[in-house]
Structure 1
Amino acid sequence: MQKNNYPKLHNASWPGVVGKGPDSEPPIPLDTMIELTANAEVDGVKFDGFDLFLFDPHMDIDSSKDDIKRMAEKAQSKNLEIGSLVAPVWTPTGGGSAMGSKEDRDRFVTQVRKSCVIAQELRALGVRPNGVVRIDSSVDPASWAEDPVGNTKLIAQTFREACDIAADYGESLAAEGEICWGGMHGWKSMINTLEAVDRPNIGFQADMAHTLLYLLGYNKPDERILPADFDWDDRETLTAGLKTLTAALRPWTIDFHVAQNDGTVFGAGSHDKTGRHCQATDPNGKLNIPVDAGHWLRDEDGTLTKRFRHICWDGCMFPNEVMMQPKTWNDILAAMIQVRDMHGWYEAE
């Protein structure tokens, strides 16, 4: 019997950039991240691709057609495809808050448009068979909390404009479920924002490390699912909480990150504290990676949704020393293979 070959297994490139910089460790070049990804192998299985951060020093959001072509050729030379792209919607990168001034919101939408141009071109070049463009609100939870109703309306308006532009390029936008983004920092708040956008080409990006903290109500205590005295050894209660969370968010989910978390928050460089990404084999990890991935990849009846043509590992803010070790990526790939063996499928190619 053939092994599952879907969903395709991707590695994220942005751990080479996120949390790095002058106030932390130096960034790891994209070429190095691609090389580490391409070289990983477990029992003859390799990564199928990588997801890409449209952010210097990895890839300039203002890349020319020739630049985009070179990126496609770089991936193809390593027998890798490119999947989802991250739009640099934040103020330091030329973007702005999705609930800010008109100028802020216009800059946000402009960054999405530029990202969709690159996304469409990579698709046309044959290197990007699937994937979405990731966005967030580009604002902190405390600022959002000054006027939850009004600020959610502003974020939704900005996202709506971004969705309409993305539709012109045949793209969908995935709002990242991370506790450091206002209006997206709790699971109910995330759903309220998505419902307010009211566009068919927006959805949710679930990251197992980030969504775990939704259960604990970090930054949104009134949306906590697990009891205040929760004991991590109580697997039955944790599973029940994951089922509650995924039942609500799974219908919205259009992009999925496999990850591990030790139940704490962490920030590095200029990145705000968010769900701590742990190594796949971290003994302090609170998730059973392949089992808990199933809450997102299967419906409540246990049937495969087959909604994701690829899934991506996310390990942001790992120390550079860890990321430069081939064993790190082989362990990650092994975890990804376990997820696909348990929740994947086979298609003739």
Structure 2
Amino acid sequence: MSHASPKLHNAMWPGLVGKEDGTENPPISLDRMLELTAGAEVNGVKFDGIDYFLFLPHTDPEASDDELRAIADKIASHGFSVGSLVAPVWPGTVGDSSMGDAESQKKFLTAVEKACRIARIFNEHGVRNYGVIRIDSAEFGVEKWKENPTENTKKIAATFKEAAKIAADHGERLAAEGEICWAGMHSWRDMLNLLEEVGMPETLGFQADLAHTYLYLMGYNAPEHALVKEGDSEEKFYAAYKQMTDALRPWTIDFHVAQNDGTVHGSGSHDKTGKHCPADDPNGKLDIVKCSGYWLEGAQDRGIQHICWDGCMFPNSMLEKQETWNTILAKMIEVRDAHGWD
């Protein structure tokens, strides 16, 4: 049956992540990403909003209040709400590694502060009424973390605790993005350990992405935490999927619909992460609708009001086709029809 909630959002960062000027896949402007999102329609249903990447060239984290209000006006002109925001915590932007030295950690916290400021302006404007601020450890790769896993997890957790205090002071919640390329967050067990080490579930939770968490099951960067292997039966797969989601679902406050073909992919500065696939990719490993249900059980009680599509590092030739977005929207509607609420 049809449901009014959760709201259906499209992400703006597929126009930026893994894109490089001077290649056949340069960054796609915010205007164009909004246009493509607004153009999607399936049986009269359209996207309700967007999730927003606080990185150049879409957004200058140092933008003035007036510049940010102009962006909010632009988004609202398409009939969209803003949901979750991605804080510019990565090295080379405003932020730096959460497990680095004191100066790196300070930069990380500054990035969270800037994201909270932008959230406040969007909230006051009226274009944003729900969603979280997403963070990660901002430590690409796991080799340095593996030198001392216990202490490095404690360092990340200490930084996250300070970030959560900043968010709480601004009336925001943080969601830590589970993805195999982020140190200390690269397996389902390590992610759970980190969340428990922070121990602030009212302010800092988990952001689950179907594509990335599929790689959690396979233990790509943490073989000791693998729950399934290639060729296992469907019965074993879903028993493992239930084990993982039962552990992480209580922490899940932000959710991405996505597809994965079981491989690892990278482009530009964003390397060796779970490969996102088109919603209808014949090589996709996931029953998107069924797997979404494991994460969305009890979602309303955890404050989730929207879900977002994530499909990073698709070639621009695919992103520029309107039918790509219609296919994505159709799958999002299926997820809401199966697991939504009113």
Please give the TM-score of this superposition, normalised by the length of structure 1: 0.95
Q: 2:77 aligned with 1:72, yes or no?
A: no
Structure 2 match to 1:91: 91
**Alignment RMSD (CA, Å):** 1.4
Q: Which amino acid aligns with 1:12?
A: A
Q: 2:337 aligned with 1:341, yes or no?
A: yes
Structure 2 match to 1:54: 54
Whether the 8 Å CA contact 1:7–1:311 is kept in 2: the answer is: yes
| Structure 1: distance between partners of 2:222 and 2:2 | 42
* 1:215-253 superposed Cα distances (whole Å, 9 cap, x missing partner): 000101111111x4x316x32222111111100000000
Structure 2 match to 1:105: 105
Structure 2 match to 1:165: 166
Whether the 8 Å CA contact 2:98–2:104 is kept in 1: the answer is: yes
| Structure 1: distance between partners of 2:38 and 2:297 | 29
| Structure 1: distance between partners of 2:301 and 2:41 | 27
Structure 2 match to 1:324: 320
| Structure 2: distance between partners of 1:224 and 1:307 | 30
Q: Which amino acid aligns with 1:309?
A: Q
Secondary structure at 1:110 match in 2: helix
Q: 2:148 aligned with 1:147, yes or no?
A: yes
Structure 2 match to 1:186: 187
| Structure 1: distance between partners of 2:22 and 2:273 | 18
Deviation of residue 198 (structure 1)?
Answer: 2.0
Secondary structure at 1:272 match in 2: strand
Deviation of residue 306 (structure 1)?
Answer: 6.7
Structure 2 match to 1:283: 282
Unmatched runs of 5 consecutive residues or more in structure 1? none
| Structure 1: distance between partners of 2:80 and 2:206 | 25
Structure 2 match to 1:246: 245
| Structure 2: distance between partners of 1:148 and 1:114 | 29
Q: How many residues are paired up?
A: 339
Secondary structure at 2:207 match in 1: strand
Whether the 8 Å CA contact 1:297–1:306 is kept in 2: the answer is: no
* 1:10-40 superposed Cα distances (whole Å, 9 cap, x missing partner): 0000000000114752100011001100110
Whether the 8 Å CA contact 1:23–1:270 is kept in 2: the answer is: no
Deviation of residue 94 (structure 1)?
Answer: 2.5
| Structure 2: distance between partners of 1:306 and 1:177 | 17
* 1:154-182 superposed Cα distances (whole Å, 9 cap, x missing partner): 10111111111111110111000000000
1:239-278 mapped onto 2 (5 Å cutoff): 239-278=238-277
- Provide the identity percentage: 57
Q: Which amino acid aligns with 1:189?
A: D
Secondary structure at 1:92 match in 2: coil
Unmatched runs of 5 consecutive residues or more in structure 2? none
| Structure 1: distance between partners of 2:273 and 2:190 | 16
Please give the TM-score of this superposition, normalised by the length of structure 2: 0.96
Deviation of residue 5 (structure 1)?
Answer: 1.0
Structure 2 match to 1:221: 223
Q: Which amino acid aligns with 1:326?
A: Q
| Structure 1: distance between partners of 2:197 and 2:287 | 33
Secondary structure at 1:285 match in 2: coil
Whether the 8 Å CA contact 2:136–2:177 is kept in 1: the answer is: yes
| Bigger Cα displacement from structure 2, 315-324 vs 135-144 | 135-144
Q: Which amino acid aligns with 1:160?
A: K
* 1:276-303 superposed Cα distances (whole Å, 9 cap, x missing partner): 000000000011111110010115xxx9
Q: Which amino acid aligns with 2:247?
A: A
Q: Which amino acid aligns with 1:176?
A: E
Q: Which amino acid aligns with 1:243?
A: K
1:28-39 mapped onto 2 (5 Å cutoff): 28-39=28-39
| Structure 1: distance between partners of 2:109 and 2:162 | 7
Q: Which amino acid aligns with 1:167?
A: A
| Structure 2: distance between partners of 1:244 and 1:307 | 22
